[in-house]
Structure 1
Amino acid sequence: MNYPARYWHTLDDGRIQCDLCPRYCRLHPEQRGACFVRMREGDGMVLTTYGRSSGFCIDPIEKKPLNHFYPGTSVFSFGTAGCNLACKFCQNWDISKSRDMDSLMDAATPDEIVRTAAEWGCTSIAFTYNDPVIFAEYAIDVAKAAHQQGLKTVAVTAGYITELARGEFYEHMDAANVDLKGFTDDFYVHQCGAHLQPVLDTLSWLVHKTNVWVEITTLLIPGLNDSEEELRSLSTWVAKELGTEVPLHFSAFHPDFKLMDIPPTPPTTLSRARGIALAEGLKYVYTGNVHDTDGGSTRCSGCGKVVIKRDWYEILDYTLDDNGACLACGTRLAGRFGHFDSPFGSRRIPVAIHRQSPSHKKTAAIRPDQS
């Protein structure tokens, strides 16, 4: 389905410029942008993946990762294909770099996605696996339908979007986890094929100009973005420019895609990074992709008591009231909270949206998440 795309204009030389992301791809007839999914068709631009998904899954919200956005709830996750970055370490490269359109044949309208998410008891819908910025029109329509049914929306994104497009896109998002890939432009240029400043601009705008709940994730790659100097600079910038209550996640790298020669991130690196960020004044700093109860748990910013005890994505203990206030001292944590009953847990459930219904829950594939 080629869907009329927004965020473009015609240049004097007859080419069409895409204004969705800072790449500003300039296209001749039938030419695709760097993301692969936005294409010039005739005198306009189309989105080639509208209504087509690379897969659906029910996840714990902590997998996004979001530790302060309705903890313990389940989220209906889906993505499409393509990406506007070129990360050599991409852990979803089979989706983000797909050029085989046959892999996108799980078709679903916004209403179908929302109906399925609601039937499975999900609290929110996440646009993830590849960057939702490149399928903005589809994500916005799903988000509109979700809000009509009382569901929340989550964007898992690199934040590589223009000032022109970001207002409409994030207007329909309740939360975002933004991948801050590193903290030097050199890293962004050579490892991601992009630039750092547009991401910092997006983060500052999100935190100070919108009501979107924001958390940040940095994947630490040994020898590339894990130096003490870079980690301190990153942490200082977050504390100074965004505030000390924005949660920061340091996640473990494993060899993938074009970086198969780099070893996995040692747990000690994650702990060191967390210590640096805490020393810079950040109140909520987490380690990810590892079993680390201390690094995965949330402490009250008032009394220091562990108020959400986690192991990976699994919540082991929870001592906050429905408003997110510590039961020991009454301090209200930053975030979005609600009534906490039984947590969804660490499992994930793949969903074939046209072939499986909630009546099949007992036979659905349920397994511990290994990503």
Structure 2
Amino acid sequence: MRVAIVGVGGVGQVSACEVVKKGYVTKLVLADISIGPAEELAAELRRETDAEIKVRRVDAGDVASVQSILGDIDVLLHIGLPENNFQVMKACLHTKTNYIDTASSGPVWLRKQLAWNDAFQAAGILGIMGLGCDPGFSNIAARYAVDQLDEVDAILIRDGDNSIVDYDGFCSYFSPQTAIQECLAKPNYWTQDLGEQYFPTPFANKEEFEFPEPIGWLDCYNVEHEEATTLGETIGIAKGCKYVDFKYALHPNFVNTLQVLRHLGLDSDEEILVKGVKVAPRDVVVTTMPKPADLAGKIHGYSCVGALVKGRKDNKRKELYVYTMANHDEVFEQTEFQATIWQTGIPPVVAVDMMAEGLLTMTGCIPPELIDPIPFLERLKARGMAWHVIEKTSPLL
């Protein structure tokens, strides 16, 4: 298996370190527009694997640039900015290379990506859209829970983190661009009657949610996310699902800072003229923030992502919360990565595992919940990313 990773930031580095652990990878290309970190990583990996490791400078926003590295590549993991997904997908179509990304630029863009299904099928390749932790693991956890029930009422994705960070300033544990964009967008949700809809304002419907110990109760908000775009239609509606949403636990200081950015117009990606130079306000904010990979070792606490599915089984009400949890300090001690990017970088590698074993042979463009959850979750656990199920059952009244 010959693999290319486009985007060698924190998550890309996690995926690179994981994918070479198994002997089926004979070649790994690390590609980024800035190759310094990729060169350092390649030097480390060459001491740990017999696979051929190549480093290439690639502009993910340029189809020809991406295409130039894909001559003999079997699967490409795009772990760069979601805004470049379409250019990378187009390069993969030209070279008939399987494609996986970890996030989209929002619900509208995800639907457009999935609309390339016929083109990918005609090329005989697979494209998996949004296979990180959430989206990604969260979709597959939801599929696992839905499969256990006779009827489904609701699919609720819940993401919580109780950590503190040794940094005095505004920061995000994952892509700052994505964090600002999705948290300040109108949150999406899905209903059986009306399909995908949007709440009128960001940070909608604050509620307390009880995450597994040692996290406990956290304030969660509806946030724009990919899961609500697909889960209702793909796996929910056939079992009667009436509602799907995503909620994210956000610290009050994080929420307040984002609201100030919005009030000042500093969340905009539209360029403005400042002293004769064109700049996008959001780019200025992101530049002042630390890179998520640089927070490794500075975050202390637990990260949890899961799917709560409510429904019925054998004439009883049943709720299943299928989740993964990681301790930032333990992950750093074992891998030198922080837990959030580690949790995001493992799932796409599991899909590569399944491809290599002949367990993922479909073609077209799919969301993650269309992957068979049992073999996926087994291999996820084997990669060190444990998952668990909390089950609650009550009689029907």
TM-score range, shorter chain: 0.3 to 0.5
- The structure with higher relative contact order (CA 8 Å, sep 6+) is 2
How high is the TM-score relative to the length of structure 2?
0.31
In terms of fraction of residues, the more strand-rich structure is 2
